[in-house]
Structure 1
Amino acid sequence: MTTQAPRVRQARPQPPNPIKVGVARGSIELKQFFRERDAVVFTFSLPVVLLVLLAGIFSDPVEKTGVEASQIFAASMIAAGIMSATFVSLGTGIAQDRDDGTLKRLRGTPTPMTSYFIGKILMVLVVSFAEVVVLLAVGKGLFDLKLPTDVTSWLTFAWVFVLGVIACALLGIAISSVPRSAKSASAVIMLPFIGLQFISGVLTNPISALSSPLVEIGSVFPLKWMAQGFRSVFLPDSMTFQEVAGSWELGRMALILAAWCVGGLVLCLLTFRWKNGRQG
């Protein structure tokens, strides 16, 4: 009589950790981004070119402040650089991934879908930081932008940067579902990006010179508050007279940027599509 050996239950494989996979995807996204030289040149050069042009056109110092117009533009343009590296980059990049079937193929793999977005966010965080370094170097080297020497100002810079990157990145993910194809993505996404720069105080100095309706529209979106936040870091408090409220409004700024982080996430959940209409 033979006895049958008891069966050994095989342990089920554990699902991949979304954070670890997301970090790995972030590394891949960075490599892919820097391999596309035209995208790298455009992303980093557009804010710098706009800054140099504006500084060349509006070079007169602000009366009785000792602050030059070029320094105001240099501080404000940091916000536009971050939006270019997040909102524009993610909007066009994800539209391309959807159009060429990358998103559809990803859904058929064990890769957690959350990891895809973690990788994208990590990529734009690094690119945004590099963009800021470039703009600060240009602002300091060409226009004598004063870098703060106190910890409080740099802490303000840090939270405006982090909240701004997250808010604009989520908006970029949300707007990626608007273009019907990758070919139209650049035109669709660049239109609000350029328009917001004018009504958010990036390409207009001072912002208080804008009409009230335009200021109110610009105040709805994060770019205006990011630009104001960076001006509060790199410009003296004597420049608050050019702001609409006559102050930096740091508390209100933090609340609005945080609200956009939450609202952007809700928009992503409501609007994001993994495939376009042609893919069924």
Structure 2
Amino acid sequence: MSATLTPRPLSQPAGHRAARHGLFSLGLARIGFEIKLYFRSTDTVFFTFLFPFIMLGIFTAAFSAQGNIGTDPDGSGGISVGAYYLPGMLAAGMLLSGLQNLAIDIAGEKGDGTLKRLGGTPLSPLSYFIGKIGQVLVTGILQAVLLLIVARFVFDIALPTEPEKWVTFAWVFLLGVITCAFLGIALSALPRSGRSASAVVIPIVLVLQFISGVYLQFNALPEWMQNVAGLFPLKWMAQGMRAVFLPEGFAAQEQNGAWELGLVAIALLIWLVVGLVGSRLTFRWIRKDA
């Protein structure tokens, strides 16, 4: 009597599902480890976590005597210097926490042999990425919350009350931080050693901040410089933050006279894909030329 063979349903093997679950579990476990390492490094905390606070305080103290920005011809209206620079400091914090921090940190781990040792363990690049990106998200959120608290209660900067403004803040922030994190992983392949990482990465970050409307009023920059800034994500992150925290009248000072939040989303999504692909193609536990 012949047995009837019942075809098995087409589904992912249990072993593959368990392996994938293990990759995510290990990545989530590394988030706490990465956060501890972050706050144990005083130079990292200073240059990526506290730097926006310091710069906001410097700009507020240095330029407040010049009066409000965007005042009417009769001298009324406008916003304080601190309120004007707050969106740029938030965008800069996202760039520093994601791109600068990860690029220097991962390059250093390559240089001191940490990645080589991790490459000999069951840790996969995916789990490693989850740990790094999770650390950037947690520290970036903490930084943004503290910066907003300082802005409100120390510098007396009025924050938005409209719910739709905070929805915009949420998606610009999350998209920007994740984009910067992937770009930081990809950029970590550029320095040839851990010692040269700061010298390679920090100038890039500084130039982007100056041409993207973080330290200088964007509408005061030459048009060619605005066009160059538009090729990079920081300009769009800063523009998205200005749409949240500046009055609607300031939209006329943007390059095209509007906040263009749709273009902000498209630009950041494009750079997110670039960072994701670049990080996966360039990441190595050991440099090829090592």
Q: What TM-score, normalized to structure 1?
A: 0.90
Alignment of 1:6-17 (within 5 A): 15=19, 17=22
Structure 1's unaligned 5+ residue stretches are 1-10
When structure 1 is superposed on structure 2, of 36-45 and 65-74 the one drifting more is 36-45
Q: How far 1:244 moved relative to its partner?
A: 1.2
Is 1:42 aligned with 2:21?
Answer: no
Q: Which residue of 1 aligns with 2:83?
A: 71
Q: Which residue of 2 aligns with 1:58?
A: 63
In 1, the alpha carbon distance for the partners of 2:103 and 2:144 equals: 20
In 2, the alpha carbon distance for the partners of 1:142 and 1:199 equals: 28
* Percent identity over paired residues: 46
In 1, the alpha carbon distance for the partners of 2:15 and 2:230 equals: 52
Alignment of 1:140-155 (within 5 A): 140-155=152-167
Structure 2's unaligned 5+ residue stretches are 1-13
Q: What TM-score, normalized to structure 2?
A: 0.87
Is 1:242 aligned with 2:253?
Answer: yes
Q: What is the identity, as a one-letter code, of the residue corresponding to 1:195?
A: V
In 2, the alpha carbon distance for the partners of 1:12 and 1:169 equals: 30
1:157 pairs with one of 169, 186, 193: 169
Alignment of 1:145-224 (within 5 A): 145-205=157-217, 207-224=218-235
When structure 1 is superposed on structure 2, of 61-70 and 229-238 the one drifting more is 61-70
In 1, the alpha carbon distance for the partners of 2:215 and 2:289 equals: 39
Q: How far 1:70 moved relative to its partner?
A: 2.1
Q: What is the identity, as a one-letter code, of the residue corresponding to 1:159?
A: W
Is 1:268 aligned with 2:279?
Answer: yes
Q: How far 1:256 moved relative to its partner?
A: 0.6
Moved over 4 A (4+): 11-14
1:224-250 per-position Cα deviation (integer Å, ceiling 9, x unaligned): 111111111111101112211111110
Task: Say if 1:208 and 1:243, in contact at 8 Å, map to a contact too.
Answer: yes
In 2, the alpha carbon distance for the partners of 1:148 and 1:260 equals: 28
Q: How far 1:278 moved relative to its partner?
A: 6.3
Q: Which residue of 2 aligns with 1:227?
A: 238
Q: Which residue of 1 aligns with 2:32?
A: 27
Give RMSD over aligned pairs: 1.9
Instruction: Identify if the C-alpha distance between structure 1 residues 12 and 174 changes in structure 2 by more than 3 Å, giving closer, same or farther.
Output: closer
Q: Which residue of 1 aligns with 2:23?
A: 18
Task: Say if 2:118 and 2:285, in contact at 8 Å, map to a contact too.
Answer: no
Q: How far 1:114 moved relative to its partner?
A: 0.6
1:120 pairs with one of 132, 136, 141: 132
Task: Say if 1:98 and 1:275, in contact at 8 Å, map to a contact too.
Answer: yes
Q: Secondary structure at the match of 1:58?
A: helix
